[in-house]
Structure 1
Amino acid sequence: MQLPWLDPGDPLPDAASAWGDSDPVPGLLAAGGGLDVASLLQAYSNCIFPWFSEGQPILWWSPDPRMVLDVSRFRLHRSLRKTLARFRSTQRCEIRIDHGFEAVISACSQAPRMGQTGTWILPEMVRAYTALHRAGHAHTVETWIDGELAGGLYCVSIGHAVFGESMFARRADASKIALAALVCFCRRHGITMIDCQQNTAHLASLGAREMPRERLVSHVAHARLKTSPAWRFDLVYWNELLSARPSSTT
């Protein structure tokens, strides 16, 4: 089966045309094209994302099924609840949004994805998502402890459609704290889902589940048309998780 090749500026194929389980690489949609802001917005608006390694062309993906976190089902384990309660009550700990985008994406680039060696966040990806951030569609949620960046994540946002990209931690639970903060932010603003792209045991342990791509495409088509909230974090947002009944899960 021949993979479509795109020249810069070419529209992406429909996500439904991505290779399936019987094809050589399930989820692969196309190669080539560009990483400019317009191309990335077109991609994410249609549940497509770029992912490639050094020496490869730009590769575009749209797996089916898709790993998605319903924020109402985020699994707050007892240990993480205690960590968040301590974090919220300690003055030397804080959540910042979009304070150091380039520092966060650079730190994320040091962590391999899906058990691979090396990085998938190549310099051209850093430049592309930094441009997307400046355009108002890529954001960081950052965990700061003692005035230092301890962990965080970056994501793409179009209206109420949110797509998680990558996270990192320099201290224990720092990336989980950032994800919990993103869940609180989403709950506060009526954002119901975070696309997690790939199925991992870590995401599953936090409540993410697979969803048919068709259902996610339908969700994003409506969510992206809603007005994007102001990307900032207030301490009261923690109540979205910490005021809920504790889970019996350890």
Structure 2
Amino acid sequence: MPVEPPPSRWAFGDPARYDALDDLVAIGADLEPGTLLEAYRHGLFPMPAGSPGEPMYWFCPVRRGVVPLDGLRVSRSLRRARRDFEVRVDTAFEDVLAGCADPARASGWIDDEIAAAYLRLHRLGWAHSVEAWRDGRLAGGLYGVAIGGLFAGESMFHRERDASKVALVALVDLLNDRYAERRLLDVQWLTPHLASLGAVELPRAAYLRRLEAALRAPGPDLASANPPG
């Protein structure tokens, strides 16, 4: 079971009062585990401002990207690719985090402060990695935060073709149990890549309603993805 950290000393206010035209809804606060969990429970997530020493930015997109658990598009080639990888959960969180934070990646945004914050969340049982392995090597994966029936995806990476997609398919499979209707797979913003996999946009108000229900839902058994032994 995840360990609940001390509560945040920061308040994020009522999401219904956020600017209806701006994704950026708060600036400042900290990245302590309690603050991060409070933010996700209010529909927010952090991103660095872009310059060292600048306050943290907190976003609650006007139009939120989500992956419908019954709407993931798995192509024939991706179904074949799944057979080439072994999926594991939380066996290499730091390595997945490092892969996502690789400064050589285009549009990289995960700095040392962000990485350290999510590693703390992982050690408390809230942040998780879904990994695609081949021949004993980490080929790709994703990480995010799980609170009840919410899985807030943060980033994904691949070193081999289709590896991150295989991790996403595995995550959807894990979430897609008898509580699936109450679960929510959040991907922050809709990108062309995510749209090609079936992700859609929700207006902020609709997302927040779904979030409220998801937070009350049971969480998935993520460890069941790991091979026996």
TM-score band w.r.t. shorter chain:
0.7 to 0.9
Deviation, structure 1 residue 112: 7.5
Taking the aligned partners of 1:128 and 1:112, their CA distance within structure 2 comes to 21
Bigger mean CA offset, 186-195 vs 70-79? 186-195
Taking the aligned partners of 1:172 and 1:197, their CA distance within structure 2 comes to 23
Answer with 1 or 2: which has the greater Rg. Answer: 1
Q: TM-score, normalised by structure 1?
A: 0.80
Taking the aligned partners of 1:132 and 1:112, their CA distance within structure 2 comes to 25
Taking the aligned partners of 1:189 and 1:79, their CA distance within structure 2 comes to 28
Deviation, structure 1 residue 100: 1.0
**Runs (5+) with no aligned partner, structure 2:** 1-7
The one of 157, 162, 166 equivalent to 1:177 is 166
Alignment of 1:1-250 (within 5 A): 9-21=9-21, 26-52=22-48, 53-55=50-52, 56-84=54-82, 86-87=83-84, 93-110=85-102, 116=107, 119-188=108-177, 190-191=179-180, 192-234=183-225
Aligned residues: 216
Is the contact made by 1:54 and 1:120 (CA closer than 8 Å) also made in structure 2? no
Secondary structure (helix, strand or coil) at the match of 2:142 reads strand
Secondary structure (helix, strand or coil) at the match of 1:33 reads coil
Q: Which runs of 4+ in 1 moved over 4 A?
A: none
After superposition, give the CA deviation of every residue in 1:57-92 in whole Å (9 maximum; x if it has no partner): 1110001111111110001112112222x33xxxxx
Change (3 A) 1:112 1:188: farther
Bigger mean CA offset, 45-54 vs 8-17? 8-17
**Runs (5+) with no aligned partner, structure 1:** 1-7, 88-92, 237-250
Is the contact made by 1:9 and 1:34 (CA closer than 8 Å) also made in structure 2? no
After superposition, give the CA deviation of every residue in 1:97-121 in whole Å (9 maximum; x if it has no partner): 00011111111001678x63xx311
After superposition, give the CA deviation of every residue in 1:36-71 in whole Å (9 maximum; x if it has no partner): 111111110111000112323111000111111111
Q: TM-score, normalised by structure 2?
A: 0.87
Deviation, structure 1 residue 9: 2.0
Secondary structure (helix, strand or coil) at the match of 1:151 reads strand
After superposition, give the CA deviation of every residue in 1:121-144 in whole Å (9 maximum; x if it has no partner): 111111111111111111000001
Change (3 A) 1:137 1:78: same
Taking the aligned partners of 1:41 and 1:234, their CA distance within structure 2 comes to 24
Taking the aligned partners of 2:159 and 2:103, their CA distance within structure 1 comes to 11
Change (3 A) 1:111 1:209: farther
Is the contact made by 2:88 and 2:225 (CA closer than 8 Å) also made in structure 1? no
Deviation, structure 1 residue 30: 1.0
Is the contact made by 2:132 and 2:138 (CA closer than 8 Å) also made in structure 1? yes
Secondary structure (helix, strand or coil) at the match of 1:96 reads strand
Q: Percent identity?
A: 40
Is the contact made by 2:87 and 2:167 (CA closer than 8 Å) also made in structure 1? yes
